[in-house]
Amino acid sequence: MTSGGDHIAQALQERGVKFLYTLCGGHISPILASAKARGIRIIDVRDEKNAVFAADATARLTGVPGVAAVTAGPGVTNTLTALKNAQLAQSPLVLLGGAAATMLKGRGALQDIDQMKVIEPHVKWAASVRYVHDLGPTIKKAFEVAERGVPGPVFVECPIDLLYDEAVVREWYVASSGKKERQEAEPPGGCLAVVPRPARRPHVRGRGRCATQLADRAPRAAPGPAGGPGPAHGREGGAPGALGG
């Protein structure tokens, strides 16, 4: 199965790209691996801004837009000085930026920031890809925009879940998420499960603010027939909740 990284590498190859400058990161590894497999030379630098400076220099020397790929978050923000330099010099280059998975944006994922708002003032055009089949066409358009009229840098945001093979993505964000287990563990009535503990105040487990706010208000378990703890709230027969033992 063709990965999103290979879609991008194919588009770069078709545009005659010989060099891809980068500081390697997990968010963009499929781009680098696929580009190398297609004969594009990967040049790994020690700072993201140097990757963009090198792409700028390549554009000036060859007439072909230079290309750099950087990882998400700080990898993207570290390029700003070099991007601004290319913008002011009217130098055509394409910057590929990794990003958090589409389903995890805005949810505290690793290195997840609003990169578009940071980058847009410093480039000629910026796009965030939402679907795997749009990766190739977006790269092609990026090259066209970079060279059209007054040349300049462009930015393409590539979420990590579009770059890896589908099987890998499913394993990361579905099977490994524990979603099924959480759904089975939660009681039908809401986010709380009250687990009875002998001679103690009930232990309240849950997720989010509601568990914190309601923990101190949870009623004590009513005595059972033999003076033991009564049935758990939301659970018949006093059986321990699935969230605790």
pLDDT tens string 9-33: 999 999 999 999 999 888 899 999 9
The C-alpha atoms of residue 226 and residue 187 are separated, in whole angstroms, by 27
Specify the pLDDT at position 195. Answer: 42
Residue range 139-197, pLDDT digits in tens: 999 999 999 999 999 999 999 889 988 777 777 666 656 665 444 444 444 443 444 44
DSSP 74: H
Q: How confident is the model at residue 81 (pLDDT cuts 50, 70, 90)?
A: very high
Give the largest CA-CA distance in the chain.
Answer: 88
Residue with tokens 């190739």, as numbered in its chain: 136
- Tell me what the mean pLDDT of segment 32-49 comes to: 96
pLDDT at 214 over 90: no
Structural domains in the chain plus CATH codes: 4-170 (3.40.50.970), 184-222 (no CATH)
The C-alpha atoms of residue 109 and residue 132 are separated, in whole angstroms, by 20
H/E stretch holding 146 reads helix 135-147
Is the pTM higher than 0.75? no
Strand ranges for the chain from DSSP E: 19-22, 41-44, 66-70, 93-99, 125-128, 153-159, 193-195, 203-205
Q: How confident is the model at residue 200 (pLDDT cuts 50, 70, 90)?
A: very low
Share of the chain above pLDDT 70, in %: 66
Specify the pLDDT at position 167. Answer: 78
